[in-house]
Amino acid sequence: MPVSRWSYRLAPVDGGTEVTEAWQDKRGHGAHILGRVFTGKVARERPQANREGMRTTLARLKRELEEPSSASAGD
């Protein structure tokens, strides 16, 4: 039973790479009910919660990749 589909798109831009994160809700009616039972959250709130999580993920990714120390960490 598919629940969601996550994807990342990387595109070259001047000076770097643009990263776009996307999420598609694939849940049917039954999954919405079970989601509330198991998480305690109303399914209608899931898109907002995921958008907030995506902003956090992308900000952390940007910070890690743009810090001078992280570029040389693999050396």
Whole-model pTM: value is 0.63
Residue 28's pLDDT band (cuts 50, 70, 90):
confident
pLDDT number for residue 74: 55
pLDDT number for residue 19: 94
> Domain-by-domain residue ranges, the chain?
1-46
| Amino acid type, 36 | R
Model pLDDT for residues 32-43, shown as the tens digit of each residue = 777 777 777 666
* Whether 47 contacts 63, CB under 8 Å: no
Residue 55's pLDDT band (cuts 50, 70, 90):
very high
Return d(Cα 31, Cα 48) in angstroms, integer: 18
In the chain, alpha helices (H): 29-39, 46-66, 68-71
Residue 1's pLDDT band (cuts 50, 70, 90):
low
